[in-house]
Structure 1
């Protein structure tokens, strides 16, 4: 235990620590059995089926242990590293924690913080942020302290983590290696050859020709390195190749938000748009050369480089963050038009938010608040070293493509969302948050009113109409520290009974794990983060969700940290439908302009064949339902006959019709009766 343990270069270490299953007290022996089984398997003395890991757990934990330096991978096989075998022989906890420290960020740094004084998990999250780790919850810190507890290096009592005597002896040997967030990196890691070749091709024309990628659904949690882990799993899954059906099954098993084949398709298409995977046949997928190189390097900057080479307006955001008046997704979306060669195709706030999530996961931006962003020191170094598109002539404002009513609705939604996020931390004025939440839910189509006062719910809202109508009480909780700790749930049934409600929405900026567990066990309580509600409000102007699509927001059976992912998927599904409408109309318009094709009629099979040439694989039912919408009497831009379908109006007319329908409702004046 006397040898100093130095980490790898800070940028090469992963942000995710392996998570074994079952009780923490059994993690060490479980890992020992796994390493021993793999070692014997490599020698031919046992079979992989005897390993203590199988199915979904195997697909998750084995790659995690590779990134953590415990295993290596060669020709599709997982083998223990020399360091892991040394720990297996010695049994010294210093050997294992040393492996983690060399390969995982915030291990030695965490122990260093605990050596100074015991700390809560939330306090350790604040410490982690100083090192550029954009964590919004204690989960990744708890994953690390669980390993310290499993190895006898730390203990948890009185709500704080304490180093044991063994931990105190070991921590000086772990030389810190993570730079603080405001430290300028000396040199960025050299990209692998496949990624370097991609960057070399990025001249101004190539940058302008990148796809808009207005629909990017990346599953996984937004915080805790979830986006990177999701993309890594998507890419690893196709090495060397995987069929459509197997890919869909894997995604549905790995991500709670992916419940249907169409959701799995959205995730696959996002990974394809980002340049990580590609079709290698009509029924299977493989990794791109650059995507495979990123899996090997495990370097977030390589992922960012690949994305920059494949989608419009990505690293350019790092430049715009220093220029925009409001550094939010909406503010950056307003600047996107200066990077958009096709002015009739704008990138809206939803698409920009997806890009910001990826920049955040790669450590290139950090959140200044719930809604605003800033460039990190690593981001400044990255933008200086990465080819970026120069802004186009910015004299043409984006308003030409966006109806004033939509911009007004977006501004209203942004104001509501900002008020929720601000009021959530104003403990001295709880009524402010109560009223903001009621206003936000009304904006989402759940009309209601504020109640407040001793012995009453803070408010009541309704969703649905007629026999589908449901009444919900609202309980809003503020916390200056961002986490609600004390809240009695025993009075909530009485509050519901007074107004005839079925469910309670308990809304706050964050919740103590014990309170969250108690609420999750109650089938009448839906725990909702204020950040989740704010994002739902922001997105509603562009992609208004139906009551059925909004169900994840109020579903009491769903943990609070899964709501964001499912709502994001619902919005991406809507955007995907809009994209399909646009592509189908484009195909029909091209056919209508062909003088050699009399009548310009196309059947569904013809349209599907053309869609495949454009990289879109859509089943016949979805094509037919989309065409039925375009041919409906109120829109009437496509005509149907026994010979198929043909376009009878331009894309500009479609936009006018859609805008006109909205204006007609606005000009009617009175709002229809609500439930």
Structure 2
């Protein structure tokens, strides 16, 4: 089941859909799609979107691929370019889109309304669709491609061409999705010695289950090489002997046709999964367990290694002992600290390894092999993520999937300040509460943050992706003192250097209530440490929440000597941008009462005496933002060559604001 789950929606009129696809394919074939943020000038639609937005449609149809930021035709796209017929596109979509051919088959059998076809699909294929939108879009495409026609009573039926073409397509019948007998007894190979040792350690060591990590998962899986486990095997095999980081990542990028920066996100996963070991700084080698997997060639051995190092691996199979919707599996994954995207990756691994089977387009069930495997694995019980366990009861009620409410944000900020001067806060061991709240603060801002603590290691490990997509790592040393002052006597530079080396960190921050004396300031300057007070961190968390700052923005606080001051400047700039946005909306609303259209230059002149006094360039940036959001916030009245004199009126700004809030809420629900 490698087809796309949803039909592509080009967001244009029916009459424009087919001509738009053809024109886009021609332009890409001519090599025009080299800037994904550019908007092509198209004759098939009145208002074009960016190449990036069109790529989502064309990639789901299997017509294009993204090669290092440039859109190129796939073999299927070249086929359509050679035969620009509706029937050719229809056949390509039947191969690529789930239930596309199956909908036409229903309409060949008898005329149906959208609702009738939708109900039959749901019943026959065990779908969890709650609206008719998926079916409606498929039937719209069939109509656009000339394969169906409208009859009376809102029903559609296959045309003669539709009947002829459907007879040539492979159609998945409901019986083809029947689950093989999972009650059969199967034998699975014993794990190699190196992998068996990992599982034994997991079974007998206190805290080992909880120590398994939840790092983001990423493995190259281009269309021409879709098998994720096999691709991962190729990557790890390249490091069977010691290999420098740049050489390894360069090999992966070249092998799979990816940007070098895109591959950086893979390294933390393969290390966390126990597949790759940093033998010395910047030099990596496959772990003994990974080498054993390479020798055995067994996908089950890969899953065993993954289970020993990451949460919700064997437990995922257990969650699917019986036929269950994927959404139920995702919800179970949350109790182990994983989000939906991570569970999707793990599910894909299980399907490729033959441990799960898709019983419908939206449900999975363990195979006999999967059930036999989990009998041999030490499994953990569901539990809340570590950060929620360590926090005070009130704060622990906020789960990772819920947006943090303002009073909860205040709780994080207040708790930072309180625990900074109370080492025994919340009845915990000295300094523990402060470390937990530091971890919570960084997590709330979108960082990967993990409280480690303990002898010989850092207090908190913080990671994020910078503006170039490169993974950055910092260690944080939290210092809680009842005196309210941290001096050089409270900090061990030798220990911090050791922790930094151990975690291959690029940055160090020491966080405390305040810092006293020139000695610690000079030490921090010499050692390139960022000294951050609890008050400063609290202000940064509040600003990140209010202004939507990314980890790539906030991460500059770790940069010395001027990271904190540059971050303060960025916060001021972002606040000014929002203030100018409010001013522009207010001015447009005022002018709308007389139905006057205004330009950026007009607003600049009108508001030059106001406290903000925005200049023309700032106003052009604001109008450009409105245009990029494309939500009818403002309406262009007269477009002229000099953008300073282009005029605007206010649009449906209130509805646009509600729409943006709805989008933001949906994003937060998915996290």
Q: Larger radius of gyration, structure 1 or 2?
A: 2
Q: Same fold (TM over 0.5)?
A: no
TM-score interval (norm. to shorter): 0.3 to 0.5
TM-score by length of 1: 0.40
TM-score by length of 2: 0.40
Higher relative contact order (CA 8 A, sep 6+): 1
